[in-house]
A = this chain, B = another copy of it.
């Protein structure tokens, strides 16, 4: 089978053998924002045409390709949800001689009843779900919109989001803080730790953000360290809120290494153990959904 992780600004394609092993992996910048309406089938042929000709008959696609702005809209499926639920809810799209299916996003409600959505992360979660212990586990998927997820015995129970990554990007580029930091600076673990410490002091986030500016005015915040400090400050607030809401340690962190290591350090600073999962959980998640589709195909239309 073929699995596609098709996001807003990137596209990853995997060719998977019947055991789930990745036989081929390709990446392109053809995220859904760069695909013209009606152009999704052509884009699929472009990245995986030879695999399709070479007898692959099932394509599972996760991510924003299944959103309103994508190939077609696979509506959000409510939590709790299992891999079977998600496989059943995949949306078929027309394609010659091949079954092509879009993975739905998930929806939930936070503790105060406010709606929550994810699209793409559910597939990463499924990639590690059957290797987790049976009891409740908390997953963290850091990013522009970090997801904190409760799972138990093969079920995605619920989740909530923190806009940490996107807030970092907006503040570091579009406020007075831009003058205090060098955005291309390498990660500075000491400054990151200072930011984490600061997050546990008083005054709230909106106050502590200004402190970065005033520290820099008084030459107490080197430009090459300020971005890491800001990152620590925001991730510190995120982790503090997550712990207040309740987690089941160790927290399993899924994502790119640069981020998972920061979150692991942040959780450790709060005394919470974590496990960093493999980076490429999406391929395994797409495989699990493919297997579930095969397993349920006779009960599907």
B162, A220: Cβ atoms closer than 8 Å: no
Counting every copy of the chain, the complex holds 2
CB distance from A113 to the nearest CB of B (A): 9
B204, A110: Cβ atoms closer than 8 Å: no
A237, B161: Cβ atoms closer than 8 Å: no
Q: Is A18 an interface residue (CB 8 A)?
A: no
CB-CB under 8 A for A110 and B203, given A115-B214, A167-B209, A214-B116? yes
CB-CB under 8 A for A237 and B163, given A114-B211, A214-B117? no
B114, A214: Cβ atoms closer than 8 Å: yes
Q: Is A201 an interface residue (CB 8 A)?
A: yes
- From B116, B163, B202, B209, contact of A163 by CB (8 A): B209
Most chain B CB within 10 A, of A112, A171, A206, is at A206
CB distance from A201 to the nearest CB of B (A): 4
B170, A174: Cβ atoms closer than 8 Å: yes
Say what secondary structure dominates the interface of chain A: helix
The segment from A55-63, A238-246, A248-256, A258-266 found at the interface with B is A238-246
CB distance from A298 to the nearest CB of B (A): 34
28 A-B contacts (beta carbon < 8 Å):
A110-B202, A110-B207, A110-B211, A111-B202, A112-B198, A112-B202, A114-B208, A114-B211, A114-B215, A115-B211, A115-B215, A115-B217, A117-B214, A160-B203, A162-B206, A162-B207, A163-B175, A163-B206, A166-B176, A167-B175, A167-B206, A169-B175, A170-B175, A204-B205, A205-B206, A206-B238, A206-B241, A207-B241
